[in-house]
């Protein structure tokens, strides 16, 4: 496993981090046997960064991660979790949050503590409730060791967050398709200039950079036999300031593939960087909706499976698999979760970190399915 030294600090994290938000479910519970096997394999293979959050997996992730890692020496791994600021109305409520985290995670301290999915609206909450001062106090008490934030908004908001505190680290959505959205490359450079260590989420853009249109894939395959997913991880890991890259692995073969990639990592060379730029341009011409399946828009009041609908239209344009698109859409229709169930209430709009006009894009899905079902 490759490790990253956090600038001049006595801190090294595995380049591959485990994002604990996509474990398989057994009914309405985490399939703990499968998830535990993944955690054990990752730990034994050198992964030392485990990331969770209150909302993940129907609010079960923190407690499971606490149980799963309890058998290991606490000093041998790093725990990251997040404060969902939008859930609190008063400073007094926030004050109680840290002990709830520590209880669920079965630990005396949290290595990396983040304000979760920061945006303009959540910045207001942070200021109104004095959350920065509250978390600083927890840090002084030794309950957290590093204070950062994860981010989903525009560059101007990102800059405002950067100037709010002397951050220990920052978590950003970063991949070769998302260079021009949210904080973008300029925000990345700001972090590098300030020597703020970077943790990356969505390195595969919700799985989109694992497989895509054959005509685009052929350009990478002509260059080397490397898996398409390896190109995506190598691009992120080649960027300055990136210390750990989170991957939400829920199958053993995914984990094993990622372990191999991060154990043998080599930065992209100039020719490979140019090739990725060309592939990026080609893919952007194919993508219909920039959804990462983060689920922040869910649940929908009308029962629409928003990410599921967007996945259908994007995959259709990438692969032109009419049978697959029909099958997936019919499954949604049976559950009244298809695009046609949208009531345009627009409750989803402020929740989307990609700023997608969800009702409008659902119309595209509906129209596509009507067309291919004729």
Is residue 301 situated within a structural domain?
Answer: no
| Same domain flag for 104 and 204 | yes
CB atoms inside a 10 Å sphere around CB 211: 14
> The domain containing residue 238 runs over which residues?
3-275
| Same domain flag for 333 and 215 | no
Q: What is the per-residue pLDDT for 215?
A: 85
Predicted confidence band at 374 (pLDDT cuts at 50, 70, 90)? confident
Is residue 39 situated within a structural domain?
Answer: yes
| Same domain flag for 177 and 103 | yes
Is residue 292 situated within a structural domain?
Answer: no
- Terminal Cα distance for the chain, rounded: 52
Task: Summarize pLDDT for 146-176 with one digit per residue, the tens.
Answer: 999 999 888 999 999 999 999 999 999 999 9
Identify whether the C-beta of residue 193 lies closer than 8 Å to the C-beta of residue 222: no
| Same domain flag for 254 and 330 | no
Mean pLDDT over all residues of the chain? 94
Q: Is the pLDDT of residue 105 over 90?
A: yes
Q: What is the per-residue pLDDT for 181?
A: 80
Query: CA-CA distance, 168 to 208, in Å (whole number)?
Result: 30
Query: CA-CA distance, 44 to 99, in Å (whole number)?
Result: 29
| Same domain flag for 352 and 237 | no
Q: What is the per-residue pLDDT for 210?
A: 86
How many independent structural domains does the chain possess? 2
Task: Summarize pLDDT for 35-50 with one digit per residue, the tens.
Answer: 999 999 999 999 999 9
Q: What is the mean pLDDT of residues 181-209?
A: 92
Is residue 118 situated within a structural domain?
Answer: yes
Task: Summarize pLDDT for 314-360 with one digit per residue, the tens.
Answer: 878 876 778 888 999 999 999 999 999 999 999 999 999 889 999 99
| Same domain flag for 217 and 338 | no
Q: Would residue 31 be called left, alpha or beta, if left means φ above 0 and alpha means ψ between -120 and 50 degrees?
A: beta
Of 232, 225, 173, the C-alpha closest to 208 is 232
CB atoms inside a 10 Å sphere around CB 235: 24
Q: Three-class SS of residue 243? A: strand
Identify whether the C-beta of residue 61 lies closer than 8 Å to the C-beta of residue 107: no
- Give the length of the chain: 374
Q: What is the per-residue pLDDT for 182?
A: 85
| Same domain flag for 253 and 365 | no
| Same domain flag for 264 and 326 | no
What pTM, to 2 d.p., does this model score? 0.82
| Same domain flag for 267 and 325 | no
Predicted confidence band at 293 (pLDDT cuts at 50, 70, 90)? confident
Is residue 283 situated within a structural domain?
Answer: no
Is residue 284 situated within a structural domain?
Answer: no
| Same domain flag for 160 and 72 | yes
Is residue 285 situated within a structural domain?
Answer: no
| Same domain flag for 109 and 233 | yes
Task: Compare 342 and 285 and report the one with higher pLDDT.
Answer: 342
Q: What is the per-residue pLDDT for 319?
A: 64
Query: CA-CA distance, 369 to 367, in Å (whole number)?
Result: 5
Calculate the alpha carbon distances from 261 to 51, 189, 234, 257, 361 in Å. Answer: 20, 25, 8, 6, 35
Q: What is the per-residue pLDDT for 339?
A: 96
| Same domain flag for 68 and 108 | yes
């Amino acid at each position: 496993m490759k490790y990253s030294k956090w600038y001049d600090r006595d801190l090294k994290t595995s380049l591959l981090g485990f994002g604990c938000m996509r474990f398989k479910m057994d009914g309405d519970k985490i399939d703990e046997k499968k998830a535990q096997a993944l955690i054990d394999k990752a730990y034994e293979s050198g992964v030392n960064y485990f990331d969770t959050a209150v909302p993940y997996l129907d609010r079960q992730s923190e407690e499971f991660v606490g149980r799963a890692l309890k058998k290991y020496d606490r000093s041998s791994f790093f725990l990251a979790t997040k404060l969902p600021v939008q859930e609190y109305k008063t400073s007094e409520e926030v004050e109680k949050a840290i002990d709830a985290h520590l209880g669920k995670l079965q630990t005396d301290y949290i290595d990396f503590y983040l304000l979760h999915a920061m945006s303009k609206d959540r910045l207001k909450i942070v200021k109104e409730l004095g959350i920065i001062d509250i978390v600083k106090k927890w840090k002084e008490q030794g309950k957290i060791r590093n204070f950062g934030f994860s981010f989903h908004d525009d560059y101007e908001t990102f800059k405002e967050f950067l100037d709010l505190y002397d951050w220990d680290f920052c978590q950003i959505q970063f991949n070769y398709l998302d260079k021009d959205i949210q904080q973008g490359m300029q925000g990345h450079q700001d972090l590098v200039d300030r020597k703020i260590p970077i943790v990356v989420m969505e390195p595969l853009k919700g799985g989109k950079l694992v497989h895509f249109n054959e005509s685009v894939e052929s350009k990478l395959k002509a260059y080397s036999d490397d898996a398409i997913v390896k190109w995506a991880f190598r691009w992120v890991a080649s960027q300055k300031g990136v210390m750990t890259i989170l991957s939400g692995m829920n199958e053993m073969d995914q984990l094993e593939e990622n372990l191999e990639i991060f154990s043998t990592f080599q930065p992209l060379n100039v020719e490979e960087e140019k090739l990725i730029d060309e592939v990026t341009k080609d893919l952007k011409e194919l993508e219909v909706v920039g959804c990462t399946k983060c689920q922040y828009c869910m649940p929908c009041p009308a029962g629409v499976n928003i990410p599921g609908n967007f996945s259908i239209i994007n995959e259709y344009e990438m692969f032109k698999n009419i049978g697959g698109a029909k099958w997936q859409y019919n499954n949604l229709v049976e559950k009244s979760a298809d695009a046609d169930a949208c009531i345009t209430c627009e409750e989803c709009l402020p929740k989307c970190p990609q700023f997608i006009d969800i009702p409008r894009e659902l119309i595209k899905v509906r129209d596509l399915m009507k067309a291919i079902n004729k």
